[in-house]
Structure 1
């Protein structure tokens, strides 16, 4: 079973192809990672093609697609989700969503409680608390970084914080240790998805729908105001 995984919910455009053989485990076939917050659309499709070519696979060989559903900025996140749905429809294969924060948590391999925080722009972070790399304890949220410890009922520095948000707002979040991994990896996303498909422990898979925690930056114009003459 070949699972194509990718995430565009952050500045990273990351793609991975993993093979799952029931009873024998999971192995990576190819990975491509690019950090470019402004060129998600230009980078994603060539990266998918490159990963398939490197692995000697064709689109028709895919068994499933796993895609990061955010939370993340509207434009980049939409690129990944539209691409995933298009592949699923064209190839008649299932498309599974994975919370981007869960992918970062999974890659950390941590066994103790911690927080994942990513850059939400507007001087805010997307965040969630985890009991371990496999268990999320809170729903994803968005807020100014200085408000995160209070929302969790802790003091800054009481919990380790990882992710790009931790690197950007270390003082507000009380970050003292290594905040890595900063960005999601498609390798972690693929491993998480396959683990869940295999029926073992891991965060539940989601529908391939965007996890928006606030309205997009770009909005449709409202009705024009009436001009009155005196």
Structure 2
């Protein structure tokens, strides 16, 4: 088994290789405006570090969000393209689940909250009983609206750091890690668990939309 994991649902452009037992190489850069520029060089870098070629990959793991439209799409399109070219499966995982798994490796057992920055003064968030068990579905809300639901819980993710009045016990990790995502995928594959399809989990409409009531000009 050789899994290539990518996630661009957050400001982190993160890539990792996992052989089913351990992470072989990983890369992570935080730049919310350069997902498209950074992802492929990151893939090349982790392959070179591991001394492997892309055709050795037997499966693709991708974070499906939630996340902002443009950045999230970069990772999903890249993952699906690699899978099609290589003829291997692509396994989708919730990005928040990857952060929760990473929280477990950092010593947080649960319960806790994962919150990432959704912009517009909102967060993408979910509660977890432990690093592998999410409570309910991911959501997007203003922090003040969920204060009672997350009160008293430690929280991880950039969204928690941005709103200390709601998440006073914010902890690492701040950003997504493809290494954690790949490790979680390897566990689920070994257990025969199901994965999400490689389609974006937006939770809301994209910022850029077609203007309403625009004038259509047709040729005479």
What TM-score do you get using the length of structure 1 for normalisation? 0.89
Structure 1's unaligned 5+ residue stretches are 21-25
In the comparison of the two structures, how many residue pairs are matched? 213
1:15 match: secondary structure? strand
Equivalent in the alignment of 1:205? 195
Q: Higher Cα Rg: structure 1 or 2? A: 1
Equivalent in the alignment of 1:192? 184
Aligned with residue 161 of structure 1, among 155, 176, 180 = 155
Contact 1:164 1:179 in 2 (8 A): no
What per-residue deviation string (whole Å, max 9, x for no partner) do you get for residues 189-229 of structure 1?
000001000017x8x52111101100000112334269xxx
Matched, 1:181 2:179: no
Aligned with residue 211 of structure 2, among 212, 218, 221 = 221
2:128 match: secondary structure? strand
Equivalent in the alignment of 1:69? 64
Please provide the CA RMSD for this pair: 1.5
What TM-score do you get using the length of structure 2 for normalisation? 0.93
What per-residue deviation string (whole Å, max 9, x for no partner) do you get for residues 34-66 of structure 1?
000000000000100111111111111000000
1:178 CA drift (Å): 4.2
Structure 2's unaligned 5+ residue stretches are none
What per-residue deviation string (whole Å, max 9, x for no partner) do you get for residues 5-53 of structure 1?
0100000000000112xxxxx1121111100000000000010011111
Would the alpha carbon gap of residues 50 and 124 (structure 1) be closer, same or farther in structure 2, given more than 3 Å must change? same
Mapped partners of 1:217, 1:35: distance in 2: 21
